[in-house]
Structure formats: structure tokens, C-alpha cells
Amino acid sequence: MAGLTSDSDDNDKFEWESDGEAAPSSAPTLRNLDAPGPSTLNSNGWANGEATSTSLVEEYVTMGFPKDMVVKGIKEIGHNDVNALLELLLTYKALGDEGALGDCSTSGCACPNVQDDDDDDLDSDNWDNDNDTGGREHNSDSSGDEDFLKEMSAKDEKINLLVDMGFSEDEANMAMTTCGVDADLCVLVDSISASRVAGDCHSRNLFDDQVMDRCFDSFGEREKARLMEERKKKRKRYGGGSHGNRSSLDGSDDEQMHLPNPMVGFNLPGYRRPSVMRMLPQQAIGPPFFYYENVARTPRGVWETISRFLYDIEPEFVDSMHLSAAARKRGYIHNLPIENRSPLLPLPPKTIFEAFPHYKKWWPSWDPRRQLNCLQTTVASAKTTERIQCLLARSSNPPPPSVQKYVIDECRKWNLVWVGKNKVAPLEPNEVEYLLGFPRDHTRGVGKTERYKSLGNSFHVDTVAYHLSVLRDMFPNGVSVLSLFTGIGGGEVALHRLGIHMRAVVSVEIGEANRRILRGWWDQTQTGTLIEVADVKSLTPDIIASYVGRFGGFDLVIGGSPCNNLAGSNRHHRDGLEGEQSSLFYHYFRILDVVKSAMARM
């Protein structure tokens, strides 16, 4: 996969670094284990469950496209990307060549045999069709209409995203004019920020909501050049650290941030490392303290961009396998001290059998696993575990190497454990809670599927608590916390387990089930004030300033934006920070900056 690399990648081939669904795995030699069933393709050529609704076809028919053309177009590229579908239909309509839309079967691309198994999703992104691609490129310049529509759609989408972040529409349009429609979102945000600092042409100030009165172009250009030069010097100055010199933070395709091996951050209990001297940029020093988390393995340039927006602080990469029985590779950017940290006691178990000794009874000698992989948001289906059981029942003891490999691969992928003779099963939600450091039944009260999803997207409590432990002596009277993308309250549970009283928490979480879980835990364990906000976009500068005034500022701003578009297993929508979910990171930066500005005025 493209993205950040690690010396240990080969050893982690089955660790789905995911907070989303696991990528499908194939076992071509085992496909004949299940008895043949009815075809999973319907008469229109779509897989069962993926057929486009009649209303969607009718929508394009009402636009003037022939129904056959719409159906063929949807079969060609799918129905999830309406812009791409519209572009394709416009192209062929302009050519007057409906027959140019080829079928998969006539272009040399045989559709794979689809099994009736809900955990084996088709990864259509990996299907290659040279004839089809060539035909589409040949027709790409046939009409200016679709290019114009595509450009306008992309421009409007980015302007809407920038406005959602709190920038004015004028600022967004100016940035698009300066940088171009194809510029990445982070480049556009950088352009607006630079314009504000330089005082270009009455740029609108996001945080004070005032119009700057300087409009000297030559001064603005000189100031931009000065700022860029200062940024380069700052990167060199703070480029050192436990991971050596950092690569450039411009997010270019030629450079990327490499993950350390072992992934133990600046320090961890039991790991002796050279003393780390960390110097923070002046603007990064609190108050408030801030703490941001996301998946370690991301598309190229993502961590460079995140670091650039968070004051060029070097990320601290930690794999929770060094603190628990399950792996969880995460990156953290924060301005907390890194000396005098202390772990939660008692230390959590670091192997499967230490955590769950009763599984040792049925564990086969040929399964070498002693730790689990990343705990995901989904679990294996009953059909997967049944297939493994049937396969082992028909095999010798021990099974042949090919069978062993298939079974172990599936067990690693889904974190399956041995619960009987030839019988594997997923972890139960309360077992996942235990591995992640949550109290038993923390997520109980919502559906089982929702519990797995919420836990898969949560913090690892012991890791976060180790980092936050430095606050214990600094705030003996408790802390006020702004918690962004709270989830099920991993940060709050970590503070509670550290014995740090939370006087007030403003929690921003859009998931109703997650809010219910947090509220239930809070009512049982806490005496402070909990304010719940559903949508991060509703936190305007005025509302943030009112919370700052009400609580006397925030001692900690903690959060981790959704990583749906970053995780390695989310192959269909791995769009980096430009993705619909992961672009919410910019709200973390925006809100943190507002808090810092409001507290500076106190």
C-alpha cells in the first residue's frame, strides 16, 4: 500500500491497521469447500445486494439519457460516484456512441467467482480493464461540457469544505484562484492562513471576525517569503528527535515520514532508550496542552500535513503491542512533557494467554500467535468460522502446511481464538474492552455490532494514560477538557484511571450510540460537568470563546479525527486528509487555534 513505511512491514502483513472494515483475503485453493450455490449475479449483471435502485436509473432517464445507456454506465463504473457516472454518460451521449460502453466479459476481464460470504467484499478498485481504460481516455477530450462540469463540481466541493471549516467564501475563492482547482485542501488552507498573517487585501480574520486593513501587495509577498524561510529554519531546528532527522513536511510525493522500529515512541515502560531532548516551537507551548491521535500507517504525506498544521511537532509513534496483548499502531502529536511518565498499574497482560488463559486448552501447537493484531470495527462472520471448522475436520492432525497457512491467515486477520476442537471464534465485546483498557461492560447497552464498531475506533487507554500521566502532579485540583471526536471516551477513561479529576468536559461526538455510552459511564463515575455537542461544525468561534470564559480556559484539548479515509484496509475510500471523514482533522486544528487565541485574551 502507498503510504508510510516501516522496517517491520513484512512482519505485519496480516495486521489490518484499520479502524474500518478489514480488507478481503482470498483463499483460491479453498473456494471449492462450499457447495455450489445459485449465482450471485442478477440478470442485470450486478452482484446481489449491489443492484442500483430503480429510482437512480429513473433520475438519469429524466435528465434525457436512454435507460440502456444508464444501465450500461452503472455496470461499467458502479453507482457510488455520481459525478463520474454523469461524466461518463455525458461523454458517450456527446459522441452518440452508446455501444462504446463495453462489458467486462468482452474486454478480457473475467469477473471473479463471488462467494455468498458477507465478510469477503469485492475489491473492484483492483480490477484492471485495459480496453475499457483506453476507451475512456480516448474519449476524455471529446467534449468541453463534462470537463467544465467536473471542474465546477470539484471547485464547489472544496469551497464548501473550506466554508465548513470556518473560512469565508471570499477567502475560499481567492485561495482557489491563487492555487488552482486541483490544489489539495491542505494547500488551500495554508494559502488562506498565509494571507491572513501577511495581511493580504483585507483578508477576513476567522477567529476575531474582523477585517484587516492592510492591503500592500509588495509587503504581503515579502512577508510570505519571510514566513516560508522561517518555516524552513524551524523544521531544521526541530527536526531532531528519537527518530533522527525528519523529512520535509511539505507532503510531496518524493518524501515521506518513516515509522520507527520498534514503535515505542519517545519512551515506554521497560524500554531503555537514549534520552530524548524535545524542543517545541514557541507557538506550540501551552496553555492549553493538546493531544491528537490517528492511525500510524496513512497515505503518503498525511502525517507531514498533520504535523505542519500542528506547529511542526514531530509525531510520537507507538504500537500498543508493547503495552498490551494486541497491536495498535498509532501516531500522536502533542505538546505534553515527555519526562516523568508513569504507566497505569497493574500493568496489562502482554500475551493472549496472560489475558485469557482459558484459551490455551484448545490452542494448536502449529498456531504460533502470542499476541493479537489490531482490534477492528468488524468481526468474522459465522460462515468464516464454520468454513475453518469444516476444513480442519476433514484434514489430518496436524493439518497439511497449506491448510495451516490458510487457517492462521484468517485467524490473524480476524483475531480469532480457539474455543474448542477445530473451533475458532471472534473475541467477545467485553474481551475487546479489557484489551483496550476499558472497564467491563463499558459499551454494554448498545447493539453488539455497534459495540465492536465503537471499540475498534477508540483509544488504547493504557497508551494514552501513559502519555497523560504527566498531568497528574501538574493539576492536583483537576482539569477542564475539550474532547473532540470523543468516541466512547477513551481519553476520559484514561484521566479517570490516572486519578485526575475532570471538573468539566465539553465532549464533541456525532455518534448517538457513543454519546450514550459516554453519558452512562460519566453518570456512574464522575461528579464534574459534562456538556455534549453533536457536530464539530457547530463549534463557532463565539461558542468556543463562551466555553473558555465559562470554565476559565481548557487545560487539555484531546481528540483523534475519524480515520475512515486513512486506514490501510479501507481501500475503497482511502483518500487521505481529503476524504469526507478524515478532512475533519482541519476542524481539530481550527478549534485548537481558536481556544489558544481566546485564552491568550483572558
Per-residue pLDDT of 221-239, as tens digits, reads 444 454 455 545 444 443 3
* Structural element, H or E, at residue 507: strand 502-508
Q: What is the pLDDT of residue 182?
A: 76
Q: What is the pLDDT of residue 381?
A: 95
The band of 463, judged by pLDDT with boundaries at 50, 70 and 90, is very high
**Do 197 and 334 fall into the same domain?**
no
Q: Is 50 left (phi over 0), alpha (psi -120 to 50) or beta?
A: alpha
- Of 186, 374, 411, 563, which is the active-site residue? 563
On whether residue 162 sits in a domain, the answer given is: yes
On whether residue 165 sits in a domain, the answer given is: yes
**Do 515 and 594 fall into the same domain?**
yes
**Do 557 and 484 fall into the same domain?**
yes
Q: Give the pLDDT mean for 504-532.
A: 97
Of 497 and 234, the structure prediction assigns the larger pLDDT to: 497
Range from 275-289, 537-551, 565-579 carrying the lowest mean pLDDT: 565-579
Minimal CA–CA distance to 327: which of 420, 463, 451, 220? 463
Based on the residue annotation, tell me whether 215 is a catalytic residue of this protein. Answer: no
Please check the confidence at residue 209 and state whether its pLDDT lies above 90. no
Q: Provide the Cα torsion 6, 411, 128, 115; round to 10°.
A: -170
Look at residues 231, 261, 285 and tell me which one is the last residue of a structural domain.
231
Q: What is the pLDDT of residue 104?
A: 34
**Do 485 and 561 fall into the same domain?**
yes
Q: Give the pLDDT mean for 471-496.
A: 97
On whether residue 76 sits in a domain, the answer given is: no
**Do 225 and 279 fall into the same domain?**
no
CATH number at residue 297: 3.40.50.150
- Please give the Cα distance from 555 to 528 (Å, whole number): 15
**Do 290 and 180 fall into the same domain?**
no
Of 553 and 130, the structure prediction assigns the larger pLDDT to: 553
On whether residue 62 sits in a domain, the answer given is: no
Give 539's contacts (C-beta < 8 A, 6+ positions apart). Answer: 508, 533, 587, 591
**Do 280 and 216 fall into the same domain?**
no
On whether residue 109 sits in a domain, the answer given is: no
Per-residue pLDDT of 113-124, as tens digits, reads 334 344 443 333
Please check the confidence at residue 31 and state whether its pLDDT lies above 70. no
Largest Cα separation within the chain, whole Å, is: 82
Q: What is the pLDDT of residue 317?
A: 96
Give the relative orientation of helices 144-164 and 185-198 as an angle to the nearest 10 degrees.
Answer: 60
How many Å from the N-terminal Cα to the C-terminal Cα in the chain? 47
Q: Write down the H helix ranges in 398-482.
A: 401-414, 429-436, 448-456, 461-468, 471-474
Q: Which three cell numbers stand for residue 555?
A: 487545560
Q: What is the pLDDT of residue 96?
A: 59
**Do 162 and 300 fall into the same domain?**
no
pLDDT averaged over every residue in the chain: 75
**Do 286 and 223 fall into the same domain?**
no
Task: Answer for the pair 496, 469: CB distance below 8 angstroms, yes or no.
Answer: no
* Structural element, H or E, at residue 514: helix 512-525
CA angle 10, 16, 17 (to 5 degrees): 95
On whether residue 358 sits in a domain, the answer given is: no
Q: Give the pLDDT mean for 578-595.
A: 78
On whether residue 471 sits in a domain, the answer given is: yes
Look at residues 179, 204, 231 and tell me which one is the last residue of a structural domain.
231
Per-residue pLDDT of 139-157, as tens digits, reads 334 444 455 455 556 777 7
Q: What is the pLDDT of residue 200?
A: 41
Range from 36-50, 166-180, 421-435, 532-546 carrying the lowest mean pLDDT: 36-50
The band of 458, judged by pLDDT with boundaries at 50, 70 and 90, is very high
**Percent of the chain predicted with pLDDT > 90:** 48
Range of the domain at 185: 147-231
Look at residues 231, 255, 287 and tell me which one is the last residue of a structural domain.
231
**Do 336 and 471 fall into the same domain?**
yes
Range from 255-264, 503-512, 587-596 carrying the lowest mean pLDDT: 255-264
- How distant, in Å, are the alpha carbons of 5, 101, 284, 330, 554 from that of 255? 11, 39, 24, 20, 36
Q: Give the pLDDT mean for 471-477.
A: 97
At 320 the three-state DSSP class reads helix
* Structural element, H or E, at residue 489: none
Please check the confidence at residue 281 and state whether its pLDDT lies above 60. yes
Please check the confidence at residue 517 and state whether its pLDDT lies above 70. yes
- Please give the Cα distance from 466 to 343 (Å, whole number): 5
- Please give the Cα distance from 473 to 462 (Å, whole number): 18
Q: What is the pLDDT of residue 142?
A: 42
Q: How many residues are present in the chain? A: 602
Q: Tell me how many domains the chain contains.
A: 2
On whether residue 227 sits in a domain, the answer given is: yes
